[in-house]
Amino acid sequence: MIGGGEPRLINPFEGKKVIIRKCKKLPALVFLLNIFLLIIFIVAGCGGHRAASYPLHRTTKKELARMGYTIQTGAFSKVGNAARMTESLRDKGLNAFYFAAPEKIYKVRFGNFTSREDARRKAEHLASQGIIDEYYIVAPGDYTIAKEKDTVYLREEIVKTAKSFIGVPYLWGGSSPDTGFDCSGLTMAVYQLNGLDLPRLSSEQYEAGTPVLQDNLLKGDLVFFAISKGKKVSHIGVYTGKGSFIHAPGRGKKIRMDSLSDSYFQKRYTAGMSYF
């Protein structure tokens, strides 16, 4: 408003009235100019307020090697007996673990051989020493990883395997739940039973994975916690979805499912890792 008069719009073409009247194409040019300015405004606005974007698929930089031929032995009704055999095999330098079979018995698996013949020779040698009795050679094609239709199927099978350990006192030698537990041994067993050669130690498992934000965890990923003082990673569990995970919680306790939302685990949560 100027001098208290009525408000008026400033005409950018003022002073060029003759040209405006004679240019019959001016309305079309003005329309195109307005469209052009509108496009610039929209582009500038989007560039200045870019929405957060997330990849449709997570990229994994690291992949675990697949299991070769493995020896399976034992059919124990008591978990302590399976734990003792596991310990005796570990004393021989073999990477062994036990698990609960569907028949409510405990079996032991150990070794990772490049050929069936190598596995057979090792099994026969141990049998001759009285360390094992009957045995079965598990071939690479017997594992879930060899039969997978996609990673969703593999993840579901890993969770299914982890759930089969719920209620089991995870012993690493001895015949009593008070003698010990091993959380990284549990995660190793779950992965190796599905054909993925997850390392034995918690630090190795941590280094073998690709970091995943907690909000992006998927079934079958591993979750890490700092429970022991002075250690970045001292406890591990298998993520089962919906904020839950399965782990071996401690001495005298059975393998169970817990929630990441629990204040105890919230404070000690370190990282999530994916392996495929």
Between CA 201 and CA 90 the distance in angstroms is 14
Between CA 165 and CA 3 the distance in angstroms is 87
Written as one letter, the residue type at 80 is G
Give me the catalytic one of 23, 49, 57, 183: 183
The question of whether 57 is a catalytic residue gets the answer no
- Bridge partners (DSSP) of residue 45 are none
First to last CA, the chain: 68
Give me the catalytic one of 23, 49, 125, 235: 235
Contact residues for 250 (Cβ-Cβ < 8 A; gap 6+): 181
Pair 171, 180: CB distance under 8 Å: yes
Between CA 142 and CA 82 the distance in angstroms is 22
The maximal CA–CA distance of the chain, rounded, in angstroms, is: 113
Pair 177, 253: CB distance under 8 Å: yes
The question of whether 49 is a catalytic residue gets the answer no
The question of whether 46 is a catalytic residue gets the answer no
Active site residues: 183, 235, 247
